[in-house]
Amino acid sequence: MSSHSSKTLALFGGTFDPIHFGHLRMALELKQVLAFDEMRLLPSHQPAHRAAPGVTAEKRRDMLALALEDCPELVLDARELLRAGPTYTVDTLEELRSELGTELPISFCMGMDSLLGLPSWHRWQRLLELAHLVVVARPGWEMPASGQVADLLAAHRGELADIQQQPAGKILVQERRLLPISATDIRNQIHSGRSPQFLLPERVLDYIQSQGLYQQER
């Protein structure tokens, strides 16, 4: 794998129900600021109780593909949607490692909120053996004072050079402003007959309208 030593891969996971400019901007900024060679958007399965009615995994994938049509910098990786049953990040990372080898630096990007919930993830202690974590925190964020996540941060906190050069094992906290857009708000707006125009790509909005998505009560 020495031929891959100058490459880095980043993953930006989410349910993307629907994809919006908040996700797209953040994925692009992280790719550019942290100089990743490849940034993949990785849609996950939705727990049945969270899924918006009528919005299948295929439709979420279609919306992502439409959103990325004009952006060669971001790539769709729909592998989790093809897997039957629950999706665990750790399984996806194991699969990527068996495809790409042990040397390639892989970074999994998540919000600080997700990091705080990490100890409830399946086999969470294995995650840092497989990848780095890039954690996006709003300006003014505070380090958790104690607990498993505080210990994890203390043990694994790293610098940009670490996540670019080592294959896995570091946590990089990135302070960034987020566009004030959420998929929940977009769904609520459509449901109540308002337009979410300018919050997501026009092509995605056209698709939502032509398929009649997010109109029904959950």
Residues that bind ligand ATP (CB under 6 A): 14-17, 22-23, 26, 110-111, 114, 178-179, 181-184
Residue closer to ligand ATP by CB (options 100, 137) is 137
CA atoms within 13 A on the CB side of 111: 10
* Token couple for 18: 């629907």
Q: How far apart are CA 193 and CA 65, in angstroms?
A: 25
Comparing CB distances to ligand ATP, the nearer of 4 and 121 is 121
Nearest to 163 by CA among 171, 155, 153, 154: 171
Dihedrals phi, psi of 6, to nearest 5 degrees: -95, 5
On the 0-12 / 13-18 / 19+ scale of CB atoms within 10 A, 99 is exposed
Nearer to ligand ATP, 2 or 140 (CB): 140
Q: Which is nearer to ligand ATP, 146 or 213 (CB)?
A: 213
- To the nearest whole angstrom, how small is the minimum distance from the Cβ of residue 22 to ligand ATP? 2
Min separation Cβ 28 and ligand ATP, Å: 11
Least Cβ distance, residue 181 to ligand ATP (angstroms): 4
CB of 165 to ligand ATP, least distance (A): 24
Q: Which is nearer to ligand ATP, 13 or 167 (CB)?
A: 13
DSSP single-letter state for residue 47: P
Q: Is 29 exposed, middle or buried (0-12, 13-18, 19+ CB in 10 A)?
A: middle
Distance in Å, CB of 188 to ligand ATP, minimum: 9
Encoded tokens for 161: 């050079």
| Contact call for residues 14 and 43 (beta carbons, < 8 A) | yes
Tokens (6 digits) for 28: 């692009």
Q: How far is the CB of 64 from ligand ATP (least distance, A)?
A: 10
Of 17 and 80, the one with the shorter C-beta distance to ligand ATP is 17
